[in-house]
Amino acid sequence: MYDAAAAKGFPATTIGDVVERAEVSRRTFYEHFTGKEDCFLAAFDFAVADVGARLGVTLGDVPQEDWRARIRLSWRAFLGALAAAPAATWALYIETFSAGPELIERTTAVNDGFAAMFRELHRRARDRDPAIVEIAPEVFSLYIGGTAERIRHCLRTRGAAALPELEDLFAETAFHLFGKSAADS
């Protein structure tokens, strides 16, 4: 589904495109999915679970208190995963918006989850450093929305291979939101 949607755009993608790339029959496809939207939803859910597992492994040994390292390593792992799967990344960041309201709702829910993760990192940072000011929850949603837009821009202009170059921008922006730059320790 990722390859077909990235190559043709989701609206133009047919079940034939998907089964040809997957080297399965239409019958097999319909044993698993009700249509291309259902297939895209499953691919989306798989990608989210995969990236979540990668983040868990990456952050497994990083102390909860080390919020700076957790922010930086989260972005490094996330952007690296996106760069490693360019068709999936294009499909998930670009084609999702033409794949129907359920996909848009799921994208919003995933972004809300990332915003909650950064809110929790901010809370932990404030627990360790009272000089870090409280931030309205909506700011984290704005931050995640802004990073998603930068990812889409990079995909359109430079391609998925350039996504890891966004790590410093994303991490430093989070540090500034927290009221600290990377140099402030």
Residue 163 to residues 86, 89, 136, 150, Cα–Cα distance (Å): 10, 10, 28, 9
Region of residue 112 (left: phi > 0; alpha: psi -120 to 50; beta: else): alpha
Q: What is the pLDDT of residue 185?
A: 47
Q: Which amino acid is at 17?
A: D
* CB-based burial label for 78 (10 Å; 0-12, 13-18, 19+): buried
Domain boundaries, the chain: 55-177
Give residue-wise pLDDT tens across range 6-27: 889 899 999 999 999 999 999 9
Record the pTM: 0.86
Dihedral of CA 67/167/135/117: which sign? negative
Give residue-wise pLDDT tens across range 72-99: 999 999 999 999 999 989 988 998 888 8
| pLDDT band for position 184 (cuts 50, 70, 90) | low
